[in-house]
């Protein structure tokens, strides 16, 4: 009887230890998951900040005489395309295809803005526009922030994905259906913010050399 009781107590202790271990593993995955979601919200915030700047930027730039309308149209259309990608701002997506669509739309907008800023350098009269100069500073800061927040998101996602794919975290992740999350991928020009340089005097001298 005593030996049987000892075995039962041993098994009970083992079960308790396994439960404590499982709860600990689960809680760590939850914390990592929430960190990724929080950082995803930060990424969304800076992207929204950029989107909010664009209407004023376009309105200011289109006031320049004979400004290239096709460039403005490209920016406006790219901004509209971003709005068409429906994605939860509070929770990082697990669907790679949906994430890819989101990144492609944002990178298209980055590319359109880059081309707009290059064209703007041909219109020196804009350098005297205080509203334009203010938008320049805000856009430059926002683009830099986007790069920083995307990098932080990728790092937190890497930590989460690594943990749920490695043993023994994979056991709890599979049981609780925690899914891997996709990363931002480096595409043409997306690994760094667009060049935002409105120093027309220097640009002019560089061109004439």
In 3D space, the residue among 58, 188, 192, 70 whose CA is nearest the CA of residue 132 turns out to be 58
Find where tokens 């430059």 sit: 140
Per-domain residue ranges of the chain: 25-208
CB atoms within 10 A of CB 153: 23
Hunting for tokens 């490695």 — which residue is that? 166
Q: Please report, for residues 58, 87, 109, the alpha-carbon distance to residue 143 in angstroms, rounded to integers and kept in the order given.
A: 17, 21, 11
Instruction: Name the pLDDT band for 22 (thresholds 50, 70, 90).
Output: confident
pLDDT digits (tens, 9 = 90+) for 68-112: 888 889 999 999 999 898 888 888 999 999 999 999 999 999 999
Angle at 84 between CA 82 and CA 87, to 5 degrees: 85
Query: Angle 169-176/2-61 helices, nearest 10 degrees?
Result: 70
Residue that has been written with the tokens 């060049």 in this structure: 195
């Amino acid at each position: 009887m005593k030996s049987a009781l000892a075995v039962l107590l041993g098994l009970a202790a083992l079960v308790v230890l396994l439960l404590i271990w499982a709860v600990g593993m689960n809680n760590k995955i939850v914390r990592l998951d929430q960190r990724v979601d929080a950082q995803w919200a930060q990424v969304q915030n800076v992207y929204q900040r950029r989107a909010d700047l664009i209407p004023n930027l376009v309105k200011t730039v289109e006031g320049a005489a004979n400004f290239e309308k096709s460039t403005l149209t490209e920016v406006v259309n790219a901004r509209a395309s971003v709005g068409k990608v429906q994605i939860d701002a509070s929770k990082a997506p697990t669907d790679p295809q949906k994430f890819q669509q989101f990144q492609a739309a944002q990178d298209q907008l980055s590319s359109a803005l880059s081309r707009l800023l290059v064209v703007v350098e041909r219109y020196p009269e804009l350098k005297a526009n205080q509203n334009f100069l203010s938008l320049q500073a805000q856009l430059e800061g926002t683009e830099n922030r986007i790069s920083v927040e995307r990098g932080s998101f990728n790092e937190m996602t890497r930590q989460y994905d690594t943990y749920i794919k490695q043993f023994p975290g994979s056991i709890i992740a599979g049981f609780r259906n925690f899914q891997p999350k996709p990363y931002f991928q480096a595409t043409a020009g997306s690994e760094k913010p667009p060049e935002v340089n409105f120093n027309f005097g220097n640009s002019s001298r560089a061109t004439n050399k």
